[in-house]
Each structure stands twice: as C-alpha cells, then as structure tokens.
Amino acid sequence: RNNAEKFEFQAEVSRLMDIIINSLYSNKDIFLRELISNASDALDKIRFLSLTNKEILGEGDNAKLEIQIKLDKEKKILSIRDRGIGMTKEDLIKNLGTIAKSGTSAFVEKMQTSGDLNLIGQFGVGFYSVYLVADYVGVISKHNDDKQYVWESKADGAFAISEDTWNEPLGRGTEIRLHLREEAGEYLEESKLKELVKKYSEFINFPIYIWASKEVDVEVHTDEDEEEPSSESSSSEEDSGDEDAVKSEDEEKKSKTKTVKETTYEWELLNDVKAVWLRNPKEVTDEEYIKFYHSLAKDFSDDKPLAWSHFTAEGDVEFKAVLFVPPKAPYNLYESYYNASKSNLKLYVRRVFISDEFDELLPKYLSFLKGLVDSDTLPLNVSREMLQQHSSLKTIKKKLIRKALDMIRRIADEDSDESTETEKKDERSLDDDEKRGQYAKFWNEFGKSIKLGIIEDATNRNRLAKLLRFESSKSEGKLTSLDEYISRMKSGQKDIFYITGSSKEQLEKSPFLERLKKKNYEALLDFFFPFRFHAKSFTSILSFLLVFSNLEHVIFFTDPVDEYLMQYLMDYEDKKFQNVSKEGLKIGKDAKNKELKESFKDLTKWWKSALSSENVDDVKISNRLDNTPCVVVTSKYGWSANMERIMQSQTL
C-alpha cells in the first residue's frame, strides 16, 4: 500500500511472536477466546463511556453492542468484529506492537520452561495468539476520535499502519481479519467455531453472532413441459398488471412446484448472555461456576478454583457478588505490592461493567481473589472518580472481606480430617477427595497474603491469625495452625514459642532449640546468627546459659515477612508469642535459676566487662540451652538477629 507507514515490533514482542509462530502447542483454539475477550473489553469500555454521554454510541447498527464472527472459505479469512471503543492510529501502534507490557517478558520466560500457551491471556498479551493460526493478520479499527486505520503484519518483525481507504467503513469498533494458515483450515468450519464459542466464551456479556449458513427449502415453480428459467426473466419485464395475469395463467397450466435446497446466510446468536451472578446460587452448577471463573480470570488452565462464594448482600447497600480463590497465584502478585493498582474484582453497576481497577473494593492483601460485584445501590451516571468516593463502597468492602475470609476458612475446615459436614451448595462444592490438601495448596500460593493481611488489617487480625500456618520443630514438614499448636501445648506452657530465620534447615540446627528438642517440645521456626555481635545501635545480650528447664515446641518462621508479622501479632487466644532467640524466655518454672545466678555471678560479671558494653548489654545465666555453652540473644524490644539480617539485605 502506498500510504503505509512501517513500524518495528518492540524486541520482546517480536520474541513472543516468534515463539507463538514456532510453537508446537497443540491447542490452537485459544486465539478465538482471546479475540472475543478483547472485543468484549472494548464493548465494556464504550458502554461505560456512554453512561455519561449517550451520543457516544451513535445510532442504528453502531449502537448495537455485539460481536460478530464471519468466515470467507474461499479466501480463507476468519474475521471477528466488534462495535466497541475501537483504536486510534496511536492506539494501534502502541497496543499492538511497540509498547511491551509488563507481562510480555514474564510470558516469554514462562514459555521457555512450560510452553503452555493457555495462560497467555493472564499475561496481557492474548492478541498475539492469532499467530497460532494465521500467517497474516489485519486489524481494521475506527475510534470515535480518529479516522479508520488498518494495522497489518505477517509477524516478520514489522507491522504497517495505513489510513483505510478501501474497506467498508466500520462506523465504530474493530475487525480482526485472520488469513488462516494452510493447516488451520478447521477454523473455517462454522461448527468448529460454534463449539469454541460455547466452550470458552459462554460467559461473555455481549451477544456473539456468527454469519451462519443455512440450508433452506425453496419452492421453485417449474413448468412441466418447459424447464427453461429464461421465460421468467422475460416475464418480469412486463408491467405488474399483466404479471398477475401471467401467473394465474401458469396455474391454469398446472405448473409444478419443486423444493430445492438453497444456502442462505443469517446472523446466528451463539450465547445467551446470562449473568451468572444474578441467578439463584442453588441453580448454578459447579461446572458453570468453574467455567465462569475461567472466563472471568482469563485462566484457562485445567485447575479448578480452590473455592468460591456467591452471595447477595441486603440492607442499606445491596449487591451481589461472586468471589473465587484461584488455583494459582498470578506471576506478579507481590510485585510492587504497595504501589501497583491491585484489585482483581470487576465492578458492575446494574449489570453494566464499570471497572476492574477499583482498589476500594478489596484491601491489597486480598487482591489475589478474582470475582465480581454488581450493585444496585451505586449510581450509574457518575464519573469513576465520583464513584470511587461513594460512601457505599466502604460497606461493600467490609462485607466482601468478611465473605472472603469465611471462604478461605472453609477451605481449611473442609480440608481438616474431622470435617464431614455437608457443605452448602452455593459456597463450595468439591468432592471430598478434592478437598484434601486444598489448604496446603492455598497456603503455598497465598500464605504470604494472609501474613500481609495481619500487618495491614487490624480489624480482622484475629480472623486472619486463624488462617496462619507454620512449620514447627515437631510438625515434620507439615503445616500447623496456631490452634493446633495450642492444643498440643504442655501443661504450664504459657507462651507460643517461635524462632525466625532464613531456612528450616538452619533453624533446626539452632542451639536455641536444643532444650526443647531434648524435652520433646514444639517450636514454630526461623534462623540464628551464630556469634555476631551487634554494636551500639542494636541492644544485644550475651546469655550464658546453663540448662535446666524445658522449652516447649517452637514454631518456625522462615519467610522474611514473618518478622514484620510478629510485630503486629502480639498474642493469640491469650497466649503471648515468645521468640526463643530473644531475652526473657521463660521456660516452665525456673526453680534453680536464682541459685545458679548467684553461683555464676563472678563469671558473668567478668565476662561482661571483658566484652565491654559496646558489644553487649548484659551477660546472663539462662536455661534455654542444652549442649551449646552460650548464645547471643536479642533484647526483648530490639530487632531479632533475623530482622537485622533482613534490614541489612535491604540497605545493601
């Protein structure tokens, strides 16, 4: 084309396209749902804008918010068209090639190890999946603010943009034309496309049509003696009055009617645009929830969501919501955690999609949830900014958090051995076998979020504490809850013992645990800095320890976030948390302690002056060790050695 401008794909995008083109990935079907999902997003955008400005939709066909699929068997072209927001020339250049999204390189990396293209939509690069089936793709687009443009590329590192002077005007929206590869002929079969839409795009909220062929019976009048059709055309030249006369004459001649098959085309609707969340939960099947999750989360892996909750809130603020716990954490869950916009809930107001970037719906620590909220209470005709400040949002958020935590709790409850309760259908229904080990899976993927929740959300701290899991000195690789820990506490044990550090292996060797191991106690786990003196800024105490008492089981904390966590979680069910590497550890009753202190007084005094106050605050007798002669512990209110290590690694 002589008016075409050429552009090169951004390097990562180019690599991504190469991978897609050369992929041996067998499930090429995925391109269609990606295109339909993009069309749906574009329609959501224009519908949202039209809330405050009706004119934006235009009139006639333009105002029809729908998706159309069309086939051209001869030219081997499959096209998908929407009347969504469309793209300006600038949009085409940026969105389809020159600006790499954060997910691009993450996806490229992922492809190198797994090759599972199914996840492409989650990485925000779904469009490029068209090159699984096409070797040449054209994107025609018309945005209200610009002329109609064509983007085209053979995926050879470059694309071209031209002002569209030859295609039919779209009015508004986008048409993607796929020139299918030789081996992708199956996508020219209507039946295949219908099947795919049913399978993957059932929950798209706009009507999807296909230009479907239909065999119809057509009655053709034939003359018994004369089968030449030319006689009819000649009759049409006569004026209407005579025509009637001719027909009646024909009938008199007893011309026979014959039925022949003829192919006609018409738009056939492929989905019934049902809003799952508006239906009665009792009538929605598990399979429907699972499929709805796939569609909502753009997660088309074989994994099922770990849990879901579908409910209606009534009262001052009315809304319906469906929440899902995904089977896996997204690749960027904890990336720029406090900076990035995080919500994964879609907000609808009276069935109209408003936004999926409303941070006000869920706190950051619950941003791993997927789902949807539809409220009748919120106003429709206001800007996003106004909506963001609407007082109802606080109530919605509060209720969502409650429901979310209940849902997570349920995974844990149903996973535990005792649970034989019959579960409520609308909330979670997996087979008993499927429930086993579900919480460990949850914890593995999202445990950090729960810990962050304890730091962020004072109101729900206790609820969240119930969801915590740790390894302990006695859990043998399994996870233990605080409740379980407490239930195993020895009589007379007042505190929950824990130790923090970088790995379980290190912690298990810690001299701090000597006593409790010997006495068969349990500790939650972390790490130990052997003989490192903390100068000045840190208060450290060298404790000279002789052994008598019995330390209980200790919890192991190995995640850096655990250190922060423990600054917020002071106690649980009236039990204090006691870091076993800190001063003030009380292990059972120290009957002989006083005596000991007295008899070693000279030694501790000498030692303290020998080390000087720059290095240690004090030297004490303690009962926490067994074989190791002495250890360095931190003062009660100082940073633990592990915390110091974390702080150091952050400043370096």
Q: Please report, in range form, the residues annotated as the binding site for ATP.
A: 34, 38, 82, 87, 95, 101-103, 122-127, 174, 384
For ligand ADP, the closer CB: 152 or 617: 152
Q: Which of 65, 125, 401, 464 binds ligand ADP (CB under 6 A)?
A: 125
Shortest Cβ distance from residue 91 to ligand ADP (Å)?
6
x-marked contacts with ligand ADP along 41-70 as a string, rule CB under 6 A: xx----------------------------
Among 66, 82, 374, 456, binds ligand ADP (CB under 6 A): 82
Compute the least distance from the CB of residue 294 to Mg ion, in Å: 14
**How many distinct helices (H) and strands (E) make up the chain?**
20, 22
DSSP annotation of 639: P
Site string for ligand ADP, 147-176 (x = CB under 6 A): ---------------------------x--
The secondary structure of residue 459, as a DSSP letter, is T
User: How far apart are CB 34 and Mg ion at their closest, in Å?
Assistant: 5
Between the CA of residue 402 and those of 356, 459, 625, what are the distances in Å? 20, 11, 44
Q: Which of 20, 32, 38, 270 binds ligand ADP (CB under 6 A)?
A: 38
Q: Interface with ligand ADP includes 130 (CB under 6 A)?
A: no
Tokens of 129: 């999946």
Q: Please, what sign has the CA dihedral across residues 610, 613, 615, 619?
A: positive
Residue 87 contact partner, candidates Mg ion, ligand ADP, none, CB within 5 to 8 A by sort of partner: ligand ADP
**What residue is closest to Mg ion based on CB?**
126
Q: Spell out the SS3 assignment of 384-399.
A: HHHHHCCCHHHHHHHH
Stretch that binds ligand ADP, among 34-42, 324-332, 432-440, 469-477 (CB under 6 A): 34-42
Q: Tell me which residues touch Mg ion (CB under 5 A).
A: 38, 126
Could you tell me the smallest distance in angstroms from the CB atom of residue 141 to ligand ADP? 7
> What is the torsion angle, in degrees rounded to the nearest 10, for the CA atoms of residue 525, residue 529, residue 533 and residue 538?
-40
Q: Which is nearer to Mg ion, 86 or 638 (CB)?
A: 86
Contacts of residue 323, defined as CB under 8 A and 6 or more positions apart, other chains included, come to: 308, 309, 310, 345, 369, 370, 371, 400, 403, 404, 407
Nearer to Mg ion, 120 or 408 (CB): 120
Least Cβ distance, residue 101 to ligand ADP (angstroms): 7
- Please choose, out of 11-19, 33-41, 240-248, 514-522, the segment that lies near ligand ADP by the rule CB under 6 A: 33-41
Q: Which of 331, 329, 386, 381 is nearest to 360 (CA)?
A: 386
Residues in the chain, total: 652
Please state, in angstroms and rounded to a whole number, the distance separating the CA atoms of residues 528 and 513: 10
42 touches which of Mg ion, ligand ADP, none (CB within 5 to 8 A by kind)? ligand ADP
Residue with tokens 């590192």: 157
Residue 84 is a binding residue for ligand ADP (CB under 6 A): yes
Q: Which of residues 90-109 bind ligand ADP (CB under 6 A)?
A: 95-96
Element (H, E) at 435: helix 432-435
CB count within 10 Å of CB 263 equals 8
In the complex, what is the shortest distance from the CB of residue 355 to Mg ion, in angstroms, rounded to a whole number? 16
Two tokens at 77? 């072209």
- Residues at the annotated binding site? 34, 38, 82, 87, 95, 101-103, 122-127, 174, 384
Of 126 and 588, nearer to ligand ADP (C-beta) is 126
292 contacts ligand ADP (rule: CB under 6 A): no
The partner in contact with residue 84, picked from ligand ADP, Mg ion, none with C-beta cut-offs of 5 to 8 angstroms by kind, is: ligand ADP
Residue of 14, 102, 124, 392 that binds ligand ADP (CB under 6 A): 124
467 binds ligand ADP (CB under 6 A): no
Stretch that binds ligand ADP, among 23-31, 122-130, 221-229, 354-362 (CB under 6 A): 122-130
Look up tokens 């009139």; give the residue. Answer: 59
Count of alpha carbons within 13 Å of 221, Cβ hemisphere only? Answer: 10
Give the one entry of Mg ion, ligand ADP, none that residue 14 binds, where binding means its C-beta sits below a cut-off of 5 to 8 angstroms depending on kind: none
The correct pick among 69, 85, 525, 580 for binding ligand ADP (CB under 6 A) is 85
Applying CB under 6 A, the span of 8-16, 32-40, 521-529, 570-578 interacting with ligand ADP comes to 32-40
Burial degree of 145 (CB within 10 A; 0-12, 13-18, 19+): exposed
The CA angle 98-99-101, to the nearest 5 degrees, is 140
102/609 Cα distance (integer angstroms): 57
Strand segments, DSSP code E, in 202-355 are 208-222, 256-269, 307-313, 319-325, 345-349, 352-355
Shortest separation between residue 37's beta carbon and Mg ion, angstroms: 5
| DSSP SS3 for 261 | strand
User: Which of these, 105, 60, 102, lies nearest to 83 by C-alpha position?
Assistant: 60
Question: How many CB atoms are located within 10 Å of the residue 618 CB?
Answer: 16
Task: Report the nearest approach of ligand ADP to the CB of residue 520 (Å).
Answer: 54
Q: What is the smallest separation between the CB atom of 300 and Mg ion, expressed in angstroms?
A: 12
Stretch of 22-30, 31-39, 107-115, 394-402 lying at the interface with ligand ADP (CB under 6 A): 31-39
Q: How far is the CB of 128 from ligand ADP (least distance, A)?
A: 6
Q: Which is nearer to Mg ion, 103 or 326 (CB)?
A: 103
Q: Do 110 and 210 contact (CB within 8 A), yes or no?
A: no
**Which one of Mg ion, ligand ADP, none interacts with residue 174, CB within 5 to 8 A by kind?**
ligand ADP
Which one, 127 or 557, has the nearer CB to Mg ion? 127
Q: Which of 557, 565, 566 is nearest to 512 (CA)?
A: 557
Interaction between residue 36 and ligand ADP (CB under 6 A): no
How far separated are the first and last CA of the chain, in Å rounded?
56
Q: How far is the CB of 177 from ligand ADP (least distance, A)?
A: 12
Q: What minimum distance in Å lies between the beta carbon of 269 and Mg ion?
A: 23
Identity at 20, one-letter amino acid code: I
DSSP 97: I
Q: In whole angstroms, what separates CA 339 from the centre of its chain?
A: 18
Helix (H/G/I), strand (E/B), else coil: 266: strand
**Block residue for tokens 């009753």:** 589
By C-beta, is 79 or 604 nearer to ligand ADP?
Answer: 79
Count of positions on this chain that bind ligand ADP (CB under 6 A): 17
The C-alpha atoms of residue 447 and residue 468 are separated, in whole angstroms, by: 7
Query: Which residue from 20, 32, 39, 296 is in contact with ligand ADP, where contact means CB under 6 A?
Result: 39
Which residues of the shown chain bind ligand ADP in the complex (CB under 6 A)? 34, 38-39, 41-42, 82, 84-87, 95-96, 124-127, 174
